[in-house]
Amino acid sequence: MDVGNIIRAIDSQNYHITNHADEEAEDDQLDIEEIFYSVRNGEIIKDYPEDQPNSSCLIYGKNIAGEPIHSVWAYDEENQRAILITVYRPDPARWINWRERRTES
């Protein structure tokens, strides 16, 4: 997946935020602008090409304060639309450098 497609969709306001993502953002006190900022300055750390109906990816970025944010986005090629599936503040106990999941021992 190309993060540029997601950024272009965001910039053209061609995006959808799922109810789940909206609830998770509220739980973690994330507003949409800081989520968008984290995507614009972020990187794809995991692709999910098998997801249906559209492939998706996990993006790691930081908000303007430098705090890490993970967001999962799908991209609808036909409509050039980005879909925010979920978003959260990653738990440092579960992530190495915010990019790699820790293995459970």
- In this structure, what CATH number is given to the domain that contains residue 59? 3.30.2310
Quick: pLDDT tens for 2-43.
999 999 999 999 999 999 999 999 999 999 999 999 999 999
Whole-angstrom distance, CA of residue 75 vs CA of residue 87: 15
Q: Is the pLDDT of residue 83 over 60?
A: yes
Structure-block tokens of residue 15: 């995006």
Mean pLDDT value across residues 61-71: 97
Say if 76 falls within a structural domain.
yes
Q: Is residue 47 within 8 Å of 1, Cβ to Cβ? A: yes
b/e burial code for range 59-93 (CB count within 10 A of at least 16 → b): bbbebeeeebbbbbbbbbeeeebbbbbbbbbbeee
As a whole-number percent, the residues of the chain with pLDDT over 90 amount to: 86
Q: Is residue 96 within 8 Å of 83, Cβ to Cβ? A: no
Say if 100 falls within a structural domain.
no
Q: For the chain, how many structural domains are there in total?
A: 1
Say if 7 falls within a structural domain.
yes
Say if 97 falls within a structural domain.
no
The pTM assigned to this predicted structure is 0.93
Res 105: pLDDT = 57
Task: Look at the block and give the residue holding tokens 């098998």.
Answer: 50
Say if 101 falls within a structural domain.
no
Say if 46 falls within a structural domain.
yes
Q: Which domain covers residue 40, as residue numbers?
A: 3-90
